[in-house]
Amino acid sequence: MTIDPGTIPSRKPGEDAEDGEGARRDGPVLLSEVAARAGVSLATASRVLSGRRSVGEPYRGRVLAAARDLRYTPNAQAQAVARGASNVVGLLIHDVLDPYFSSIASGVMRHVEERDLVVFLASTHSDPDRELEYVATMRSHRARGLIICGSRTTDRLHTERLVKELEGFRAAGGRAAVISQNRLGTHAVVPQNRAGARRLARELCRLGHRQFAVLAGPVHVLASRDRVTGFREGLADEGCDPEGVTVLHGRFTREGGEQLASELVAAGLRATCVFAVNDVMALGALSALRREGVRVPDDVSLAGFDDITTLRDVVPALTTVRLPLEEMGARAAQLALDSDPASPPRAVKVHADVVLRESTRPLV
């Protein structure tokens, strides 16, 4: 049985294929029509229009010319059934407006498009149910690959459900990778959140700071938890009391950082340095501090984490921990698309570097 790869509106009986402006079409152009116009078999037309190189000239040229004249477009879903996979690679992120995710998406797209594939981008808004729904959707559409980007959480039930959904995706022929903690049984690109925050704390202590406040994300978000833990470890390394740090939890967003910084000032700002566990929270905190008349770094130093691209326009320049975001996206795409399907899952650790800038001043 030959599967018809697709349809678009076709000509009426008796109309010239190269009909002029104003011609009306009321039915689907069938693959059989393309084959008949090109004077080839249905199987030959199917192979040409599926992108296979096994058909040479002049038949290939005749099929392509006929398809063009008839305005035929292959049906991607039918081709996916025939091939066992589509040309689509799914990319699930938490928030398309967050520069952290948009930079990673850029790296994914660059790698995927080099292979003449198409990226389907979806934002879960950190909703676990939506994440599961998108994975199921990618499975039903026979996506060739799937990349999930965003921190895992302490929700074990959701993790178990997602692991099972990804197992089904791979069983259907898809390949997957994650950019986060290595907890889903797939290839993983793992940013060194804990180690990077530990290095940052050491550097801030060496600038003479001893009183710190941390603006953290929700307690169930593992990236935030790891960065807080690493920061405390770095303080202990330098002889500072890790338990004496003020830690406030809020949304993992710019608005979350702004709100927490306002609360910090309202309670009486005693810290000489504030660490926001990601850069967008740090930018929100910077806005709140300015509004409250607190000068950075004259009155308090401020640091973030990620080194998102928008920091280039921030004054004062923000001290942060740099992750190679675009490279992380490209590496995840490479793992998902280029690894042997039979190979065991790989975890690639990504080094995090401290970048000291004008937002943190020395006290010694």
Per-residue pLDDT reduced to its tens digit, 62-76: 888 988 888 876 655
Question: Helix and strand tally (H, E) in the chain?
Answer: 12, 14
Is residue 210 situated within a structural domain?
yes
Mean pLDDT of 336-351: 90
HSE-up of residue 204 (Cα within 13 Å, Cβ side): 36
Q: Tell me, what's the pLDDT at 14?
A: 39
Range scoring the smallest mean pLDDT among 47-61, 129-143, 282-296: 47-61
Any residues with CB less than 8 A from the CB of 34 and at least 6 apart, and which?
45, 49, 63, 66, 67, 70, 72
Question: Quick one: 316 and 200 in the same domain?
Answer: yes
90 and 187 in a single domain? The answer is: yes
Rounded-to-5 percentages of helix, strand, coil across the chain: 45, 20, 40
Summary mean pLDDT of the chain: 88
The candidate with the shortest Cα–Cα distance to 69, out of 12, 18, 8, is 18
Separation CA 157–CA 350 (nearest Å)? 27
Q: Is the pLDDT of residue 272 over 70?
A: yes
Query: Phi-psi region for residue 142, left (φ > 0), alpha (ψ -120 to 50) or beta?
Result: left
Domain boundary (48, 82, 116) is at 82
Q: Answer whether residue 205 is part of any domain.
A: yes
On whether both 163 and 175 belong to a single domain, the answer is: yes
Question: Both 236 and 257 in a single domain?
Answer: yes
Once rounded to an integer, what is the mean pLDDT over residues 194-207?
98
310 plus 205 within the same structural domain: yes
Q: How many CA atoms lie within 13 A of 208 on its CB side?
A: 7
Residue 306 region, left (φ>0) first, then alpha (ψ -120 to 50), else beta? left
Specify whether 224 is located in the same domain as 245: yes
The three-class DSSP label of residue 284 is helix
Residue 303 counted as domain residue: yes
Take residue 17 and report the two structure tokens written for it. Answer: 């294929």
Token representation of residue 236: 């202990």
Taking residues 52-65, what's their average pLDDT?
A: 80
- 3-class SS of residue 323: coil
Residue 163 is predicted with a pLDDT of 96
Answer yes or no: are the C-beta atoms of 41 and 86 closer than 8 Å.
no
Local structure of 215: helix, strand or coil:
strand
DSSP 8-state code for residue 86: -
103 with 34, same domain: the answer is: no
CB 152 within 8 A of CB 222: yes
Q: Decide if pLDDT at 140 tops 70.
A: yes
pLDDT band of residue 27 (cuts 50, 70, 90) is low
- Total structural domains within the chain: 3
342: domain range?
Answer: 85-191+326-352
Task: Tell whether the model's pLDDT for residue 120 goes beyond 90.
Answer: yes
Q: What is the DSSP string of 176-195?
A: EEEESSS-SSSEEEEE-HHH
Boundary residue ending a domain (35, 53, 82): 82
pLDDT of residue 75: 57
What's the confidence (pLDDT) of residue 81?
45
Do both 168 and 205 map to the same domain? no
Same domain, 186 and 197: no
CATH code assigned at 254: 3.40.50.2300
What lies within 8 Å, CB to CB, of 38 at 6+ separation is 45, 59, 62, 63, 65, 66
Instruction: Say yes or no: 166 and 22 in one domain.
Output: no
Q: What per-residue confidence (pLDDT) applies to 51?
A: 64
Predicted model pTM: 0.78
252 domain residue, yes or no: yes
Structure tokens at 208: 């003479």
How many alpha carbons lie under 13 Å from residue 328 in its C-beta half-sphere? Answer: 28
Q: Are residues 147 and 111 in the same domain?
A: yes
Which of 39, 41, 27 shows the shortest CA–CA distance to 72? 27
